[in-house]
Structure 1
Amino acid sequence: MATAPPPRSTTPSIGVPAVGAVANDVGISRRSWNKFKRDSIFSLFTPFVLSLAAGNLRLEAFRHYISQDVHFLQAFAHAYELSEECADDDDDKIAISELRKNILKELHMHDSYVQEWGIDLGKEESSVNSATQKYIDFLLATASGKVEGVKGLGKLATPFEKTKIAAYTLGAMTPCMRLYAFLGKELKALADPDLNTHPYKKWIDNYSSEGFQACTLQIEELLDKLSASLTGEELDVIEKLYKQAMKLETEFFGAQTLSQKTVAPLWKELNPEESRLMLFSDFDLTCTVVDSSAILAEIAIVTAPKSDQSPTDGQITRMSSADLRNTWGVLSRQYTEEYEQCIENVLSTDKGGEFNFEALQTALELLADFEKKANARVIDSGVLKGVNLEDVRKAGERIILQDGCTSFFQNAVHKENLDVTVHVLSYCWCGDLIRSAFSSGGLDALNIHANEFSYEESISTGEIIRKVESPIDKLQAFDEILVSCGDNKKNLSVYIGDSVGDLLCLLKADIGIVVGSSSSLRRLGSHFGVSFVPLFEGLVKKQRECVEGDSFNWKAKPGVLYTASSWSELHAFILGC
Structure 2
Amino acid sequence: MAVLATAATAGEGSAARRFWISSMEEAIFASYSPFVVCLASGKLDMETFRNYIAQDVHFLKAFAQAFEMAEECADDDDAKAAIGELRKAALHKLKIHYSVAQEWGIDMTKEIIPNPATLKYTEFLLAIASGKIEGGKGPGRIDTPFEKTKIAAYTVGAMTPCMRLDAFLGKELQLHLQYEGSGYPYKKWIETYSSASFEASAAQMEELLDKLCVSLTGEELEIIEKLYHQAMKLEIEFFNAQPIVQPVVVPFKKLHDASNNLVIFSDFDLTCTVLDSSAILAEIAILTASKAVQSGTDNLSAQRSPSDVRDSWSAFSKQYTEEFEKCIESLLPSKQAETFDYESLCKNYEQLSYFEKQANSRVIESGLLKGINLEDIRRTGERLVLQDGCKEFFHKAINMKGKLNAGFHILSYCWCADLIRSVFGSGSPNDLSIHSNEFNYEGSVSTGEIVRAMESPLDKVKTFRSILADVGREKEHMSVYIGDSVGDMLCLLEADVGIVMGSSLSLRRVGEQHGVSFVPLYPGLIKKQREVLREDSRVWKGLSGVLYTASSWTEIHGFVLGA
Match of 1:526 in 2: 512
Shift in Å, 1:134: 0.9
> Over residues 510-569 of structure 1, what are the superposed CA-to-partner deviations in whole Å (9 max), with x where a residue is unaligned?
111112232322233223221122222122222222223543342157211112222222
Q: Does the alignment pair 1:95 with 2:82?
A: yes
Distance 1:236 1:124 in 2: 38
Q: 1:186 and 1:394 mapped to 2: Cα distance?
A: 43
Secondary structure in structure 1 of the residue aligned to 2:175: helix
Q: Confirm whether residue 41 of structure 1 aligns to residue 41 of structure 2.
A: no
Among 263, 266, 271, the alignment partner of 2:257 is 271
Aligned mate of 1:154, from 142, 162, 173 = 142
CA 120–15 in structure 1, closer or farther in 2 if over 3 Å, else same = closer
Partner of 2:96: 109
Q: Deviations over 1:468-506 (max 9, x none)?
A: 222222111111221233623101111111111111110
Which amino acid in 2 is paired with 1:319?
A: R
Q: How many Å apart are 1:507 and its aligned residue? A: 0.5
Q: Displacement of 1:163 after TM fit?
A: 3.9
Which residue of 466, 483, 488 corresponds with 2:469? 483
Greater shift in the superposed pair: 540-549 or 171-180: 540-549
Q: Which amino acid aligns with 1:402?
A: Q
Report deviation, 1:430: 0.4
Q: Which amino acid is the alignment partner of residue 145 of structure 2?
A: A
Partner Cα distance (1:193, 1:261) in 2: 20
- TM-aligned CA distance change 1:360 to 1:15, over 3 Å: farther
- Contact kept, 8 Å, 2:495 with 2:543, in 1: the verdict is no
Residue in 1 that maps onto 2:421: 435
Distance between the aligned counterparts of 1:487 and 1:124, measured in 2?
A: 54
Q: CA deviation at 1:316?
A: 6.7
Secondary structure in structure 2 of the residue aligned to 1:123:
coil
Amino acid at match of 2:354: D
- Point out which structure has higher relative CO (alpha carbons under 8 A, 6+ apart): 1
Residues of 1 paired with 2:547 and 2:495: CA distance? Answer: 10
Q: Whole-Å Cα distance in 1 between the matches of residues 255 and 239 of structure 2?
A: 20
Cα gap change, 1:359 to 1:112, in 2 (>3 Å): farther
Match of 2:158 among 172, 188, 202: 172
| Structure 2 counterpart of 1:282, from 262, 267, 272 | 267
- What is aligned with 1:56? 43
State the Cα deviation string for residues 355-379 of structure 1 (Å, max 9, x = none).
2112222233332232222222222
What does residue 61 of structure 2 align with? 74
Partner AA of 1:294 in structure 2? A
Amino acid of the structure 1 residue aligned with 2:142: G
Taking a change above 3 Å as real, the CA distance of residues 473 and 55 of structure 1, as seen in their structure-2 partners, is: same
User: What's the CA shift string for 1:386-439, capped at 9, x where partnerless?
Assistant: 100111111111222222222322232332442101111001110011111111
Match of 2:279 in 1: 294
Q: Does 1:343 align with 2:331?
A: no
**Per the alignment, do residues 486 and 531 of structure 1 end up closer, same or farther by CA in structure 2, a change over 3 Å counting?**
closer
The answer (yes or no) to whether the contact 1:281–1:424 under 8 Å persists in 2 is: yes
Partner of 2:306: 321
The percentage of aligned residue pairs carrying the same residue is 58
8 A contact 1:319–1:383 mirrored in 2 = no
Q: Is the 8 A contact 2:301 2:368 kept in 1?
A: no
Structure 1 residues 219 and 58, CA, compared in 2 at 3 Å: closer, same or farther? same
Measure the CA separation in 1 of the matches of 2:4 and 2:66: 33
Counterparts in 2 of 1:268 and 1:223: CA distance versus 1, 3 Å: same
Shift of 1:16: 6.4
Secondary structure of the residue aligned to 1:259 is: coil
Give the alignment of 1:13-52 within 5 angstroms: 25-52=12-39
TM-score by length of 2: 0.92
Does the 8 Å CA contact 1:41/1:569 hold for their aligned counterparts?
A: yes
Whichever residue aligns with residue 509 of structure 2, its letter is: R
Matching of residues 173-188 of structure 1 within 5 Å: 173-188=159-174
Distance in structure 1 (CA, Å) of the matches to 2:303 and 2:107: 80
Offset at 1:184? 0.8
Structure 1, unaligned runs of 5 or more: 1-13
Correspondence for 2:342: 357
Contact 2:395 2:426 in 1 (8 A): no
2:141 and 2:183 map into 1 onto residues whose CA distance is 50
- The reply on whether 1:391 has 2:381 as its aligned counterpart is no
Counterpart secondary structure, 2:182: coil
Contact 1:360 1:528 in 2 (8 A): yes
Residues matched between the structures, number:
556
1:78 & 1:149 partners in 2: Cα distance? 22
The amino acid of 1:324's aligned partner reads V
CA displacement at 1:460 relative to structure 2? 0.7
Deviating 4+ runs (over 6 angstroms): 14-18
Closer, same or farther: CA 24–458 of 1 in aligned 2, 3 Å: farther
2:261/2:471 contact within 8 Å kept: no
1:568 to 554, 557, 560: 554
Shift of 1:337: 2.7
Q: Equivalent residue of 2:287, what SS?
A: helix
Shift, 1:179, TM fit: 0.8
**In the alignment, is the contact (CA less than 8 A) between 1:354 and 1:528 conserved in 2?**
yes
For each residue in 1:26-69, what CA deviation from the matched residue of structure 2 results, as whole angstroms up to 9, or x when unmatched? 31111111112121122111111111112222222111111111
Instruction: Classify 1:518/1:315 alpha carbon distance in 2 versus 1 (closer, same or farther; 3 Å).
Output: closer
Q: Tell me how far 1:181 sits from its aligned partner.
A: 0.9
Structure 1 residues 497, 313: closer, same or farther in 2, change over 3 A?
A: closer
Which range moves more in the overlay, 515-524 or 424-433? 515-524
Query: Under a length normalisation based on structure 1, what TM-score does the superposition of the two structures give?
Result: 0.90
Asked if 2 retains the 8 angstrom alpha-carbon contact of 1:307 and 1:321, the reply is no
Cα distance in 2 for partners of 1:341, 1:168 equals 60
> Over aligned residue pairs, what C-alpha RMSD do you find?
2.5
